[in-house]
Amino acid sequence: MGYLARQLAGPTDPARDAAWRDPEPRKGFFTDTSICIGCKACEVACKEWNAIPQDGDLNLLATSYDNTGGLGASTWRHVAFIEQTTDRIEAARESGRRLVDLGMPASRPPDAPHPRATDAANTAPAGPTGIPPIGTDGDGAMAAATAEARTAEATGTLPDFRWLMASDVCKHCTHAGCLDVCPTGALFRTEHGTVVVQPDVCNGCGYCVPACPFGVIERREDHGHDGTVSNVGVAQKCTLCYDRLTEDQTPACAQACPTTSIKFGTLSEMLDTARDRVEVLHANGFSEARLYGANAEDGVGGTGSVFLLLDEPEVYGLPPDPVVPTADLPDMFRKAGMAAVAMLALAVGAFAGRRS
Q: What is the DSSP string of 31-78?
A: EEGGG-----HHHHHHHHHHTPPP-S--PPPTTSS-SS-S-BTTBSEE
Same domain as 103, residue 62: yes
Q: Are 119 and 276 in contact (CB under 8 A)?
A: yes
105 confidence band (pLDDT: 50, 70, 90): low
Q: How far apart are CA 209 and CA 207, in angstroms?
A: 6
Most confidently modeled of 69-83, 135-149, 153-167? 69-83
Model confidence at 293: pLDDT above 80 = yes
Q: How far apart are CA 110 and CA 123, in angstroms?
A: 26
Q: How far apart are CA 71 and CA 218, in angstroms?
A: 9
pLDDT at 336: 74
Same domain as 202, residue 349: no
Same domain as 209, residue 130: yes
Domain range for residue 256?
3-323
Same domain as 344, residue 307: no
In the chain, alpha helices (H):
3-9, 14-17, 41-50, 86-101, 140-155, 177-181, 208-211, 242-245, 252-256, 267-283, 329-355
Same domain as 173, residue 26: yes
Model confidence at 136: pLDDT above 80 = no
pLDDT tens-digit series, residues 114-132 = 545 444 444 444 555 556 5
Q: What is the CATH number of the domain that holds 215?
A: 3.30.70.20
Q: How far apart are CA 209 and CA 57, in angstroms?
A: 24
Q: How confident is the model over 245-263, as a mean pLDDT?
A: 96
Following DSSP, what letter does each residue of 321-342 receive, concatenated? S-B-GGGGHHHHHHHHHHHHHH
pLDDT tens-digit series, residues 295-328 = 988 899 999 999 999 999 999 999 999 998 877 6
Same domain as 212, residue 166: yes
Give the chain's domain count: 2
Smallest Cα–Cα separation from 173: which of 303, 19, 68?
303
Least confident range of 108-112, 116-120, 329-333: 116-120
Residue 29 DSSP label: E
Q: What average pLDDT is seen over the chain?
A: 81
Q: How confident is the model over 96-120, as a mean pLDDT?
A: 62
